[in-house]
Amino acid sequence: MISRSNTSDHIAFKAEDNVYVYLGDHEAIEQPETFQFCPLGVQLYTHSAVAECELLECRFTIPDSEGNSEDVQCTGLVVQCCEPMNGDKHYRVWVKFLDLNADTVRRIQELTKNQRFICPFCENY
């Protein structure tokens, strides 16, 4: 879940067989194959624009190979929000994570590499 600090809107995403994003009261958006989630941040699609440079409260759960999970909370910064293109009706939003600790970064790398959500930059590490 990624929450805007100044509104009740939120973005939630869950990695199972498919990934869905929820923004406020809008219905879920199933994310396309271009959805990316890595230690640097998340690239996702939403129904409405999110202001660039907006700080967000990010919450998500990271499962491990032993069946345990860790709830993570960090700050995210919207670095880009692109208008829908080529008949698409969803905005593409990039959020940079600002304050993850080293252990959480390692766990996200393992998870996202296995789920194939990792960004091209992180694939090199």
Residue-wise pLDDT for 31-82, tens only, equals 888 888 888 998 888 888 889 998 888 877 777 667 777 888 888 899 999 9
DSSP string covering the chain, please? -EEETTSS-EEEEEESSSEEEEETTSPPEE--TT-EEETTEEEEEESS---TT-EEEEEEEEE-TTS-EEEEEEEEEEEEEEPP-TT--SEEEEEEE----HHHHHHHHHHHHHHT---HHHHT-
* pTM of the predicted protein model: 0.78
Q: In CATH terms, is domain 2-117 a member of 2.60.40?
A: no
Per domain, the residue ranges of the chain are 2-117
